[in-house]
Amino acid sequence: MASTDTGMKKTLGLTGVTVNAMALIAPGAFLWITFQIQAANTGGASDMWTGIVAALIVAFLTAISFSEMARRYPEAGAGGSYYFAERAFLDRDKAHHQKFARIAKFLTGWAAHLFYWVYPGVMVAFMSILVTYICGQFGINLSIPFQILVAVIFAVIVGFIAVRGISGSTNVAIVINVIQLVSLIGFSALAIAFRFTNPLHATQWTHAASSSIVFPHTLAAMLFQSTIAILILVGFESSTSLAGESINPKRDIPRGIILSLIIQGLFAYLLEYFAANYAICEKLTFTNPDGSILTGIDAAAASGAPIGDMTIMIGNALLGGNGFALMIVIAFTVALAVLGTTLAAINTAVRISFAMAQDNEMPGLLGALHERHATPHKGVWVLVAVSSIIGAVGVLNVTALTGITLASNIGTFALYALICFLTFVTFVGRQEFHSVKHAVIPFLGLIGNIGMLIGIVVIGLTTPGVSADATQMALWVTAGWGAISVVYLVWNSKKSGRAIIPRVSPVSK
């Protein structure tokens, strides 16, 4: 097999590129693992579906920008967005534009790492919570130390798979995507059927009619839900870091970006979130430690796995009391999907780190390739350690879980906003410039991502309870990573003798 100049093997066609991105989006997993966070949003739980629609609009605007950049720079290799940022300025004609190349790629790399290096830890936490819930159904209550142990073991398992290479990851992703799509369609059909049997099984519905699900109740609630929902949509852009392993990156990377978002976001998420919200009623219950009983959306906010509880409720009503068996089957498919998502996230994260290390913008340790598998194996194990720590924090409570989720999302919106801006910088003034694809769409994407970034902070801090506490935690994580990044940039610049923004760029077109 042919290799890129970085030593990575070119093995991926359109299917491989697309399914790796789809594995990161993973709708079968996120309905289960994020529903509690969305339900716990004080005063905004009714706008889950509309929040996803708002996030989808911004995601598609951003996806088009990513696809245009991938088509312009098929040689990006593992660098993806990091490479795009540098070339956007280096390819300009004037030296006073070129000199911003390094600071642009620093900002893009910083945002990408806040996103991609926190995200796997969030997934690790979700897996531990899933295992804890399943054990609880069998009367086994895992303490926090055991939940942390589960998180660490899972991170290590994913690490071993990631080290073996992207081909093995792709085969895993194909199987997982098929299973989860079949599973979510089945769950959605049963949830809608449960509602249609009204009033045989329930009479008090969270949404009185389907229109209550698909129309926003308040703008603020919809916007904050969208800032959470972006977590379930990110991943379409991850294929840009696979250009070094793609057989035809100029053709397949742009297609994979859009196709993965259409299948997973536009179809799968809108269907399953509509169905789940349509079925929430007083029959969904959760018993607090003090013996008090919560129902409906309040029960969903308190339960560690509200979709699991809902599956039991629906299965008992429609399948002759076999709700528990149905829940176990669904939980197994979710576990597979979380595995695929975490694997795809780690594959993307370490490849961007690899590109930055090759460029001497990160420690050389992250730029080492495995002799046999041609993967950035040392980077994988560093990320496994980081993910174990983040996952351990996430299992503590719903506030900590929401906090690390929002921290990853802040990196997401920052990265997406930068790519929209860089798309305009890349194409403006060139013969191939298209006013809609390279100006209108990137501008709308830039505004949308910045708006959601502001929404996380403003709406989050002004919404009492979990939202406010989690937002504060996310801001501390962001500030901490930003400080570390700036310190490393300054130290590395002095060590290498390179200016952060040179007076005159030493690189000509």
The reported pLDDT for the residue numbered 234 is 77
First to last CA, the chain: 33
pLDDT tens string 292-308: 999 999 999 888 789 99
pLDDT given for residue 266 in this prediction: 84
Q: How confident is the model at residue 509 (pLDDT cuts 50, 70, 90)?
A: very low
- Lowest-pLDDT range of 254-268, 373-387, 453-467: 453-467
Determine contact, residues 352/112, Cβ cutoff 8 Å.
Answer: yes
| Global confidence as pTM | 0.83
Q: Indicate the average pLDDT of the chain.
A: 86
Evaluate if residue 441 carries a pLDDT over 50.
yes
Confidence class for position 2, pLDDT limits 50, 70, 90? very low
Q: How far apart are CA 259 and CA 19, in angstroms?
A: 10
Q: CA-to-CA distance for 255 and 456, rounded, in angstroms?
A: 30
Q: What is the pLDDT of residues 178-208, one digit of tens each?
A: 887 888 889 999 999 999 887 667 788 999 8
| pLDDT of res. 41 | 73
pLDDT at 4: 39
Give the pLDDT of residue 337: 81
| Overall residue count recorded for the chain in this entry | 509
Higher per-residue confidence, 370 vs 220 = 220
Residue 5 has pLDDT above 50, yes or no: no
Assess whether pLDDT exceeds 90 at residue 74: no
Average of per-residue pLDDT across 437-457: 91
Residue with more model confidence, 442 or 350 = 442
- Domain boundaries 14-494, CATH class: mainly alpha
* Average pLDDT rounded to a whole number, residues 316-345: 88
Is the C-alpha dihedral spanning 151, 153, 157, 160 positive or negative? positive
| Residues contacting residue 245 through CB under 8 Å, at least 6 positions apart | 4, 8, 9, 10, 11, 12, 166
Contact 343, 117 (CB under 8 A): no
pLDDT in tens, 24-58: 666 667 788 788 888 887 667 889 999 999 999 99
Share of the chain above pLDDT 70, in %: 93
User: Are residues 350 and 383 in contact, defined by beta-carbon separation less than 8 angstroms?
Assistant: yes
